[in-house]
Structure 1
Amino acid sequence: MKKLLAKLLFITMGTALVGCGSSETSNNSVTITETGEVKYSGKLIIAPAGAGHNEALYEAAAELKTWEKYEDVEVEFLPVDDNNHEQGTSIQVMGGEQLDIIYNQSPMQQATFVDGNVTIPLEEYLEKYDIDLTEVYGDYAKYAYTNDIAYGIPAGATVWGLFYNKKIFDEAGVPYPDDTIPMTWEEYRETAKKLTSGEGGDKVYGALHLTWPMYWYGEAIMKLGGGEHFYTADGKSNIKDPVFAQALEETYNMMHVDKSIRTHSDVASSKIVSQAFFSGDYGMFLQGTWTFNWILDQETNPRDFEVGLAPMPVDAGENMKNWGVCGTFSMTQTTANKDLAFNYIIDIIRETTKLTSSEIYADKTVPQDNIFTDIISEITKTDPQITIEQAKSVLLNPDMIFVTEKVTGPNALEYETIIKEETELYFVQAQDLATTLDNIEKRFNKISE
């Protein structure tokens, strides 16, 4: 109940703000208490994007409201809009509306906001408040930087799993995936084929793939060792590595030969999102741990099947492999009180780290004892295959090989855009594989000269 009330409190305020179309700038101020402590007042407006799927964020905000430091600060979380976050945020800031804190869901999204002059550098505030990013956030500190300048504070870190619909496996007579030994990508595709049945509106697909490039190139970067391998040693495109061609062709075949996943054009035109998995039309779904929030919330995501969890597919062997990035919180050009916003970012990340159960958070200075504990204990009641011990074994395995998700290197945003544009033409059968790879290589090498 505490979690629900915390979330409703902040979402209600955010909805009211958006509904009114308010552009009013808050009257923020800072005072010093009798004990010499800083006390802020005014309003903070936060666009949480994907971070807003985590109940712990709202619990942390409720906790901060009890601090003398923030008791006079009104905090408004805007409604979560994953699909329109970049455009909506940019329009709001460029229009001069107050928006104090935004969440960057990936390094490329952070770069997009930097390039669009939406966010501001944080170097001044890191120095002013003596924040050593490496000391506080460990290996996640690197995600603070765009063009070697800190624009974000590391927050939620992603790790993925294979979620599956037990009912579809049962009806197809296919054994559930092993929850200790990962299947190979080849076995994943074969399983998807076996799970696929029916036609038209009654069709069941073996897997749900979104239009995210990770759904085709994830296999390639897992084999090569991370998103850095989109580049050659001299910084040119490495897209001609045979591993990329193989991953592209195999995804194409799942769409057009096996028909075990929807086509790219179908997913795009139908605007299919992650929560479509709960429709019961898909056997497997590769996705991050934020999926636990959706599994638990059956009021929003009703379903008539139990969900299972297994390790991510791997290129070879029995060792678990995974990928991910770390999201960040940033301040914008229209942040009303930058000292307030910066301190709030540091504190809400720290408190969320303590409380989070569905998503790993980055602050290394506090314990994260609740990770996959509270939320899984609730999920187990309806989905008994998913247990705390099993979830930690699959997602926090100390022997897991972890690689960087997404294109990681110079001009990454432009490179990813080129990849999206050219591979889409291949997936919709507008050009062949060789032309696709040639175009990606030529276009990227031209801008990297």
Structure 2
Amino acid sequence: MRKTLPIAALGVTATLVLSACGGSTGGSGGGTTISFAHWGNNQEADTLEAMVAAFEDEHPDIDVEMNWIQSDYEQKLQVSIAGGQAPTVAQISNSSLAGFSSAFQEVDVDPGAYYSENIPSSMKVDGSYLAVPFVVKTKVMAVNGNVFDEAGVPLPSADTPMTTGEYADLARRLTSGEPPDKVYGSAPLWYVGWLTVEGGAFYDVTGTECAIDNDVAAETADYIIDAQAPDGFAPTPLEAEGQDMFDWLSIGRLAMQPDFGPWDIAKLADLDDPKLALVPVPGDGEPMEINGLGISTDATPEETAAATTFAAFMSTSPTAQNRLTTAESSLGVPVVEASTEAFTAVEPDLNLQAFVDAVDQSRILPSVRQEAQIRSDFESALLSRTAIGSGDEDPAEVLPELNEQCQETLDG
């Protein structure tokens, strides 16, 4: 049976456990030491370090040893778990949570502590909370108003998503010229992301059935093929290969980038161009990632109590949540409402509220244990067999076959 500790009143629980034990696990503060595994670039690691320092200031009896895994994070995390060296606390994406279900303790999460039900529900596997929500990584759309001005087209609404039909019409009006100097109305459209924009899904809500054998899935593929046709409004994968779409947006080669994440907020702010703006993604929005903090099943009772206190602080304390985004770096959007104002105030001239609004607009993809293999096989086949990539087969014929292969892997 998994150990379960409530997120509410965690400080009291930790104090009782530590007092009863009366021992030390070797931390410099003479209390309990826990380890925390995470990923991220230099700026993101600095942000996490500042958050951990704030935690240790408030909890001098708990020392947190940071384990920054800079590449192949999940693979190395799995190796450490298998080798009996699991970190006490590990950052984990909601989409990968199922693959680590045996490694993390069950935790109690109060859904009322978060401003959207999407946030806590992302940390559930088979009906149980296996991690504490920590940060949301929604997608919005970045637009270059200079391209809109040149085309004589008004900017999209700052708070109301357009339909995908309106998006295609707008993108065509914003497209001009010929390669290699062609100005594109849209960045390349990622199939799985645009499928959710269109109201479809790769899996059913339970993550037990593949869902790409239907009209929406085929129509989404046709939409993308039309977008990147020679007379279309988006570059092909070959044209976009090795190119930074944000760079294209910044110099006016691109009018709209509908896959814009919070990690690029600082880059956008540095450009200091009032014509660059943020608006909602069309339709039902791009799928969003939510990161949580999982507590190892190998943790001792003392470590479990300390880790639970740490996870609660990172998840619900404004002291931590207010630090998620700065002018230099962004881990993502806060998960508690009290910190959303601090998030939007980081760059008041940008519409950062669009990221917050997207938490309710966007869909959470279910966590599937075989996700990496399924997605790799699917994307490779889709690109090689249809005109989304280098093929010429009809998506309406290819997708049912890929759905069947997906289901076989899922069932296996």
CA contact (8 A) 1:322 1:401 kept: no
Matched residues in 2 for 1:273 and 1:46: separation?
A: 30
User: In the alignment, which of 258, 278, 283 is matched to residue 309 of structure 1?
Assistant: 278
Q: Pick closer, same or farther for the CA change 1:195–1:447 going to 2, 3 Å.
A: same
Partner of 1:156: helix, strand, or coil? Answer: strand
Higher alpha-carbon deviation: 131-140 or 91-100:
91-100
Matches within 5 A, 1:19-418: 28-29=25-26, 39-41=31-33, 44-49=35-40, 53=44, 57-69=48-60, 72-75=63-66, 77-78=68-69, 84-87=72-75, 89-90=77-78, 99=87, 101-105=89-93, 107-114=94-101, 120-123=103-106, 126=107, 131-134=108-111, 136-137=113-114, 139=117, 140-209=119-188, 211=190, 213-214=192-193, 216-221=194-199, 227=201, 230-231=203-204, 236-267=209-240, 269-270=241-242, 272=244, 277-278=249-250, 280-287=252-259, 290-291=262-263, 293-295=265-267, 298=270, 306-314=275-283, 324-331=288-295, 338-339=303-304, 340-351=306-317, 352-356=320-324, 359-363=332-336, 367-368=338-339, 370-377=341-348, 380=349, 386=350, 391-392=352-353, 394-396=354-356, 402-406=361-365, 416-418=375-377
One-letter code aligned to 1:327: N
Q: Residues 139-186 of structure 1: CA distance to partner in whole angstroms, max 9, x if unpaired? A: 333222334454322121243322101222223333222324432211
What is the TM-score of this pair, normalised by structure 1? Answer: 0.67
Partner of 2:390: 429
Q: 1:168 to 1:192 in 2, by over 3 A?
A: same
1:88–1:198: structure 2 CA closer, same or farther, 3 Å change rule? farther
Q: 1:266 to 1:58 in 2, by over 3 A?
A: farther
Q: Residue 242 and residue 406 in structure 1: after superposition, are their counterparts in 2 closer, same or farther (change >3 A)?
A: same
Select the structure with the greater relative contact order (CA < 8 A; seq sep ≥ 6).
2
Q: Is residue 162–residue 282 contact of structure 2 (8 Å, CA) maintained in 1?
A: yes
Contact 2:133-2:293 within 8 A present in 1 as well = yes
Between 302-311 and 179-188, report the one with greater CA deviation.
Answer: 302-311
Gaps in structure 2 of 5+ consecutive residues: 1-23
Change (3 A) 1:96 1:373: same
Unaligned runs of 5+ in 1: 1-26, 34-38, 316-320, 381-385
- The residue type equivalent to 1:362 in the other structure is V
Deviation per residue, 1:36-76 (Å, 9 max, x gap): xxx334x7353234897598645433322322436754545
Q: CA deviation at 1:429?
A: 3.3
Instruction: Return closer, same or farther for 1:290/1:53 CA change in 2, 3 Å cut-off.
Output: farther
Shift of the 376–234 alpha-carbon distance from structure 1 to 2, 3 Å rule, reads closer
Query: Partner letter of residue 104 of structure 2?
Result: P
- How many corresponding residue pairs? 374
Task: Kindly state the Cα deviation for residue 285 of structure 1 after the two structures are TM-superposed.
Answer: 1.2
Q: Secondary structure at the match of 1:64?
A: helix
Deviation, 1:349, is: 2.4
Kept in 1, the 8 Å contact 2:322–2:343? The answer is no
Distance between the aligned counterparts of 2:282 and 2:197, measured in 1? 8
Mark the CA change 1:88 to 1:207 in structure 2 (over 3 Å): closer, same or farther.
Answer: farther
Worse-superposed segment, 167-176 or 198-207 = 198-207
The residue identity in structure 1 corresponding to 2:105 is L
Find the residue that maps to 2:278 and give its secondary structure.
Answer: strand
Q: Deviations over 1:313-335 (max 9, x none)?
A: 227xxxxx675342212346898
Please give the secondary structure, in 2, of the residue aligned with 1:345. Answer: helix
Task: Pick which of 57-66 and 431-440 moved more.
Answer: 57-66
CA distance, structure 2, for counterparts of residue 210 and residue 184 of structure 1: 15
C-alpha spacing 1:40/1:338, structure 2 compared with 1 (3 Å)? closer
Partner of 2:404: 442
The whole-number CA distance in structure 2 between the counterparts of 1:40 and 1:349 is 20
SS of the residue corresponding to residue 202 of structure 1 reads coil
CA pair 284-174 structure 1, distance change in 2 beyond 3 A: same
Amino acid in structure 2 at the alignment position of 1:311 = P
**Contact 1:415 1:444 survives alignment (8 Å):** yes
Q: Cα RMSD between the aligned structures?
A: 4.3
SS, match of residue 35 in structure 2:
strand
Q: Percent identity of the aligned residues?
A: 16
Aligned CA distance change for structure 1 residues 273 and 182 (closer, same or farther; 3 Å)? closer
